A and B are shown apart, each in its own frame.
Chain A
Amino acid sequence: MLTPSDERELAEAVSSAAGPLAVRGGGTRPVGHPVDGDDLTVSGLSGITFYEPGALTLVAGAGTPLAQVEATLAAEGQMLAFEPMDHRKLLGTSGEPTIGGTVAANVSGPRRVRAGACRDFLLGVRFVDGRGKIIKNGGRVMKNVTGYDLVRLMAGSRGTLGVLSEVCMKVLPRPESTAVLLLAGLDVEVAVCAMSAALNSPYEVSGAAHVPVGLDGDPVTMIRVEGFEASVAYRAERLKAHLAEFGPAGIERRTEGPESATAGWAWIRDVEAHGGTGEDVWRFSIPPRDASALVDSLGSARVVLDWGGGLVWAAVEPGRDARRSISSGHATIIRADDETRNRLGVFQPEAEPLATFAEGLRRKFDPEGVLNPGLMG
């Protein structure tokens, strides 16, 4: 296990690698094809090096624990608005999720539907490419179109083009108050209509999820609004009236801070419903209009819908090819044995010429094939 403690050592570790490296942050999200190589973790590159609440920006080493970042922000009344998912319960992993791993996998949560994804809040990166060169892109300002956007290229590239050493994030004020509307008993098709109606209203819905089998066994649809207290109270009531055709809505409101009202959202965010079971877990990113057909096509699979139906988490019988159930969007295997992952491919296959371009980028950024070779196919 290589554990460099700063960017310079990281660059040396990469440039002197004798063979492939399996790059990781906290190792809590082993998604992708297995990599046969020496382990390299960035957990030693840890620490918040810059945080300016008045400029809504935070810079941290890639190995900084996510929990430390979130606690630091919470102390100033701010947050990572993309609400990163914690994969540990779903994947049965242990260890400490890092900000670098979050960025490398472009991990977002329920608020992504309004606020944007992890990649939308990434302002700058420093990384080490496959030859050990230290490269920077972006910066620490909100708007930046200077040169090509390698910031977004690095988000979601899972350590295959470079090893992140430092990231700069845009942060946002933490909402003072949260309200959740609960609609009971809707089937998937109607639930997607209800979520669309909510998301298409002017009331700034920041979460729209549906589970056919909720904690008490019945279907539940959850709609969230956040912000200043009086505004949240107003919007929750207006939404309730707006959604009246979908049946009576219960409203849960919390004003002492978002934590208590977010327990249910953490359950959605972390896909706890699918944790600790023997099924394979697939993640579908689709147009919401296709959600109902997808769920029908999946048959007996257990599903969780987020992003107003744009994100579907399905627990299916082991070994099944669930990718056939979508006509557009993409399907990713999040949990399955090696045989299934190798046979079906973890990621949605890319059409030409994108697949050739992807290979071309890997050759440019990692000519020797050192960084997570084969992880993304």
Chain B
Amino acid sequence: MDMPAPSVDVLNRKSRIVARLKDAVSAEHVKSDPVETRAYECDALTAYACQPLCVVLPGSTGDVAEVLRICSEERVPVVPRGSGTSLAGGALPTSDCVVLGVSRMSRVLEVDYESRFIRVEAGRTNLSVTGAVEGDGFFYAPDPSSQLACAIAGNIAMNAGGAHCLKYGVTTNNLLGLTMVTMDGSVVEIGGAHMDAGGYDWLGLVCGSEGQLGVVTEATLRILPRPEGARPMLIGFASPEVAGACVSDMIRAGMLPVAIEYMDRKVIEVVESFSQAGYPDCEALLIVEVEGSPAEIDEQLRVIGSIARRRDPIELREARNADEAARIWLGRKSAFGAMGKLNDYICLDGTIPVSELPRVLKRIGALSRQYGLDVGNVFHAGDGNMHPLILFNANSPGELETCEALGAEILKLCVEAGGCLTGEHGVGIEKRDLMHVQFDPVDIEAQMNVKDVLDPAWLLNPAKVFPLSATESRRAAA
């Protein structure tokens, strides 16, 4: 994975740039000592790391505007950072960049139940948004696996999803307004506490733009009343293909569970030895969760059970109480951690039409054998968002490269099946050079034209999202 060569001119001006930033934001919040900046050298895509020029942790929208104005004047690239949990390298620094972290900005600014929104500073973590309203019976719906740590700023940058977005949608569907600072230091207000913003859909455009259009400092988010209750059912199958077919059956029958999660044998075995969740011995399992009153849940699980029985499940287990529900979710929630104990892995994020699940799962199995690396599948099946985990040993020379090559093959397969490279993690650096698999040059050009308008100097997170070859002339002009 290449990153652009750092600007020697910027590196030479480091002390001047750091001094200006310290003048703008109090010195303690500008970190330029390599010991202090080490924590910012990578995000959750740990295979790649680079020490930045310095790290700035502003405390307000005004600070962010000041920092960006200085960086704009100094022609320094800026890498915005939420909590650094990106799996795609979205917050990976370059040695000539300023990392702008919003983690200090985490206050709740306003809660309004009559109009059903919460306004927060963007450094607030996803789970603590729900934490601020759950006492009153509300929640914020998008729930990425990293929700304990990840920031709303990063959720907006990557248009984060989660296990429950089959019913509640992803970040863009739950975002009402935001405050953003563009690279020249202008503060932009978009949307608000009302439902459809006027004019062009700036909210939609900014959400998922991977920190390349502006730095989001505040967000107005839709909150929802908690359902009366929720309960999962676990269904084990003799083959991945049959499990995939069962997902399509349920959706076709008009069921809209709040989540349909999938795990294959590889993941089940690892998870079992890690968390003893009591999962059945089977090739694939689904966890289907439904919501409502106890009677509504019973009825929905009855229908789902009868659909599943037509596919001869090995086991069908309905949670009868909170304890059994927690046990069913235990394994799924510990899956990524458990796989990490086993080996290094990269987690893919390709999305396919639900109807293609059986065929694509079969092809992934074949590719895994061809490349000689194990692949575990654990993902949000209801919306076709796959997360193949490719296991490899980072200390074994060449294995990372083999792993990346296999990952690229799997993502190409997703596109070929009518899907896309990334469903909720973002492109970052990880899938940057695969963009041409999904898009023609004219499609990519149209997207880059948007960045030209909001960040004409291409200083915000410049080496992400688009193939380096496509952005070269724009970055060079900066």
Contacts and interface: CB of A to CB of B under 8 A. Distances in A.
Interface of A: 52-57, 77, 106, 108, 112-113, 116-117, 119-120, 129, 133-137, 139-153, 155-157, 161, 172-174, 176, 192-193, 196, 199-202, 204, 228, 230-231, 234, 238, 285-289, 307, 310-311, 328-330, 332, 347-348, 350-354, 357-358, 360-361, 364-365, 376
Contacts of B453: 357, 360-361, 364
Nearest to A114: B224
A330 B194 contact: yes
B353 A196 contact: no
B420 A201 contact: no
Given A140-B353, A153-B205, A146 B421 contact: yes
A376 B199 contact: yes
B67 to A, nearest CB: 18
Interface stretch (B27-35, B169-177, B276-284, B307-315): B169-177
B225 interface: yes
A245 B165 CA distance: 34
Contact of B202 (A176, A238, A354): A354
Interface in B206-258: 207-209, 225-228, 248-249, 251-252, 254-256
A32 B427 CA distance: 36
A201 B249 CA distance: 31
A156 B193 contact: no
A153 B201 contact: yes
Interface in B449-477: 449-454, 465-466
Contacts of A155: 201, 204
A145 B423 contact: yes
Interface in B286-343: 292-293, 295-296, 299-300
A136 B444 CA distance: 9
B194 A310 contact: yes
Given A136-B443, A149-B172, A347 B204 contact: no
A287 B115 contact: yes
A365 B449 CA distance: 8
A54 B354 contact: yes
A141 B205 contact: no
Given A152-B172, A155-B204, A147 B439 contact: yes
B409 interface: no
22 contacts: A133-B442, A135-B446, A137-B446, A141-B384, A143-B383, A146-B420, A146-B431, A149-B172, A151-B204, A155-B204, A173-B256, A200-B138, A231-B299, A285-B196, A286-B194, A287-B192, A288-B115, A289-B112, A310-B195, A347-B199, A358-B199, A360-B453
A113 B138 CA distance: 16
Contact of B192 (A193, A328, A354): A328
Interface in B402-445: 418-427, 431, 435, 438-440, 442-444
B208 A148 contact: yes
B15 interface: no
A311 B444 contact: no
Nearest to A199: B116
B438 A55 contact: no
Q: Which has the most chain A C-beta neighbours within 10 Å: B170, B195, B354, B427?
A: B195
B200 A157 contact: yes
B186 interface: yes
Given A145-B426, A285-B196, A376-B199, 16 more contacts: A141-B423, A142-B423, A143-B424, A144-B423, A145-B423, A147-B435, A149-B159, A152-B207, A200-B116, A201-B225, A228-B299, A228-B300, A231-B296, A234-B293, A287-B117, A361-B200
A141 to B, nearest CB: 4
Residue with the highest number of chain B CB atoms closer than 10 Å, among A133, A347, A352: A133
Contact of A348 (B199, B425, B447): B199
B370 to A, nearest CB: 25
A147 B436 CA distance: 11
Given A53-B252, A55-B353, A202 B228 contact: yes
B385 interface: yes
A145 B208 contact: yes
Contacts of A310: 115, 194-195
A145 B299 contact: no
| Interface range, B side | 35 or more
A117 to B, nearest CB: 6
A179 B440 CA distance: 48
Contacts of B161: 143
B351 interface: yes
Contact of B425 (A113, A145, A148, A174): A145
Contacts of A358: 199-200
A172 B465 CA distance: 31
B450 A234 contact: no
Contacts of B449: 361, 364-365
Contacts of B189: 351
Nearest to B439: A147
Q: Shortest 3 CB-CB distances between A and B: which pairs?
A: A152-B204, A173-B254, A330-B198
Contacts of B207: 149, 152
B49 interface: no
B194 A148 contact: no
B352 interface: yes
Given A77-B254, A152-B201, A231-B299, A143 B354 contact: no
Given A157-B200, A173-B256, A135 B351 contact: no
B73 interface: no
A148 B352 contact: no
A350 B199 CA distance: 7
A354 B227 CA distance: 38
B251 A55 contact: yes
B427 A147 contact: yes
A194 to B, nearest CB: 11
Contacts of B385: 141-143
B400 interface: no
B2 interface: no
Given A149-B172, A328-B193, A230 B299 contact: yes
A291 B423 CA distance: 37
Interface string B133-168: 000011000000000000000000011010001100
A328 B194 CA distance: 8
Tell me which of B251, B252, B435 has the highest count of chain A C-beta atoms within 10 A of its own C-beta: B252
Contacts of A117: 195-196
Contact of B443 (A137, A350, A365): A137
